[in-house]
Amino acid sequence: MNPFSLTDKTILITGASSGIGKATAILCAEMGAKLVICGRDKERLESVLAELKPNEHQLFLGDLTAPENIDSLMEQLPALDGVVMSAGKGITVPIQFASREKLDDVFNTNFFASVELLRQLIRKKKLNNAASVVIILSIGGTRRFLTGNAVYGSTKAALEAIVKYAAIELASKQIRVNGICPGMVRTPFIGKGALTEEQYQKDMQTYPLKRYGEPEDIANGAVYLLSDAASWVTGHSLVIDGGVTIN
């Protein structure tokens, strides 16, 4: 018996076309799960689907900030044993330049789309009893506060609150809801921000383990929370950050 196995579990993964979502999809498939992977980039999502073995997985192409796409997804979804909400976007901007337009853009992707997806999964009874929901958060939400990260961090802080409330509300069905708070992870987000490579290298030295995370580091945590090994874990925010928040 392997309590970390995902054999016979059907799992939805959003943001599966790159970064943490892609790594999680590949690892979940290797651990025996049957997947529905969701993303906005057709070419990249199809590339991920081609990497998943065996070939029994499904693809859903769509932007989940659009309610009609969530409705369409609900119509196609089988009953689920797990969900990983990994879709998200970042922004680096000081508060004085954080216009309502920028706030709405990041909150729509990181917060509102995830909450609406969870709401519809519950309403449409798409979550099996004892299912596991995993939401990718950030240490930037409630544990590490850097200049320019207020908008992104606030979306993740709001999501972390949803994790706690949903864990309480769904506990009667033995449905677990947890989050993962990564530190800096080498995903496509890096390089799109305001920092130079030299600044990233300097920041990396503030981590006790002297490196940023890899997407697989976070995927390992997601598999644990999805698996029966975490059957008594709910409402928890699992910090995977190379030790930076203990400094």
Residues marked as catalytic = 152
Token pair, residue 53, equals 């073995």
Q: What is the DSSP letter of 115?
A: H
The C-alpha angle 87, 90, 96, rounded to 5 degrees, equals 145
In which order are the strands placed within the sheet that holds 237-240?
58-61, 34-39, 10-14, 80-85, 127-136, 176-182, 237-240
Q: What is the DSSP letter of 108?
A: I
Residue with tokens 């190379």: 242
- Phi first, then psi: give them for residue 19, nearest 5 degrees: 55, -135
Q: What's the one-letter identity of residue 171?
A: A
Contact criterion met (CB below 8 Å) for 46 and 60: no
- 123 HSE (CA, 13 A, CB side): 10
Contact criterion met (CB below 8 Å) for 212 and 240: no
- Per DSSP, the three-state class of 84 is strand
